[in-house]
Structure formats: structure tokens, C-alpha cells
Amino acid sequence: MRNTRALAVAGAAVAALGLSAPAAVAWDTPSNIVALPSVIARGGQLTITVDGCRTGGTATSNAFTMPATLSPISGAKGTAKGTATIRNDARPGPYDITVRCNNRSLTKPHAFTVIGGVRGGVGGSSTTGATPTDMAIGGGLVAAAVIGGGVFWMRRRAERRV
């Protein structure tokens, strides 16, 4: 009876060790690369989170201005986070991210998509004041309001007399 108990305990210990060993090896391997936002304009900042990157590392992409440094997140076991800036001249389309940490690398294809940025122009800010056309339109609206108010007031006054 004692031998079967000892054998059962030894078998359970070996099974527990056998199941935890692959998890321990996988924990030091970068996995689950998340890039937020997944769609970003040129010149924007992208947050990268990687599981299995205990000591930190770097993330690279053809769209980044420079490699992003990944730092371990305190309180999150084995997770690292970093911020990357998208180049202003990056072409619109999907981009891969390659993460290197713990002397291992992992590439996530199509991790994020760059969209064409808005081309801002000088617009209405190029003038220093109202143009003569603006003044004529504004004056016409004020005159119409004064005339309309006067007509309304005169009609109300006429109704009271009757």
C-alpha cells in the first residue's frame, strides 16, 4: 500500500514538472506582439506590448523612425512595453514588427497599418483680417436683421391698437 502511494506521489510530481517545463521555456520566448493603435497616421506614436520579454528588448519596423526600446512592465510578469514613432515619409500600407529580446526574435506580420496623413494647408489663416467681400456679406446680414426686426416690431405695435 505504501509503495502505491509513493509511486502515485512521484508520478504526480513528474507530471507537474513535465507540464511546467515547456511553459517556463516559452515564457522566455517573445510572443503575443500587440501594436496599438492598429491603424495609425504618419508621424503618430505606436505602443508595442510583448509577452515573454522579461528583461526588455527592442522592436523594429521599416515604418519606425528608430528602433523602439522595450522596458519591462512592473507588476506584469514577463511583459515589456515600448513606444515607437512612425516616419513622416512612411508609405501607406501594412507593416511588420520584429521584436528582439532574451537573445530571441519574433516577427509579427501585418502588425499595424499606416494610413496617409492629412495634408494641412494654410487655409483661412493666411489673411490678417476680413476681406471686403466678408465685410459686404456681414453688413448685408446685419441690415437684413435690422429691417426684419423693425418690420416685426411695427406689426406687433399695429396689432395692439386694434
Q: What is the DSSP letter of 28?
A: T
Query: What's the confidence (pLDDT) of residue 130?
Result: 78
- Lowest pLDDT segment from 59-68, 92-101, 117-126: 117-126
23 pLDDT more than 80:
no
The grid cell for 123 is 487655409
Output phi, psi for 117, to 5 deg: -75, 165
Q: pTM of the entire structure?
A: 0.56
H or E element, residue 98:
strand 93-101
Residue 161 confidence class, pLDDT cut points 50, 70, 90:
low
pLDDT at 1 over 70: no
pLDDT tens, position by position, 112-139: 999 975 556 555 555 567 788 889 999 9
Q: What is the pLDDT of residue 125?
A: 52
Give yes or no for a contact between 53 and 79, defined as CB atoms under 8 angstroms apart. yes
Calculate what percentage of the chain has a pLDDT beyond 90.
48
Per-residue model confidence (pLDDT) at position 26: 41
**Separation CA 101–CA 33 (nearest Å):** 12
Q: What percentage of the chain exceeds 70 in pLDDT?
A: 72
Determine the 3-state secondary structure of 88 from DSSP: coil
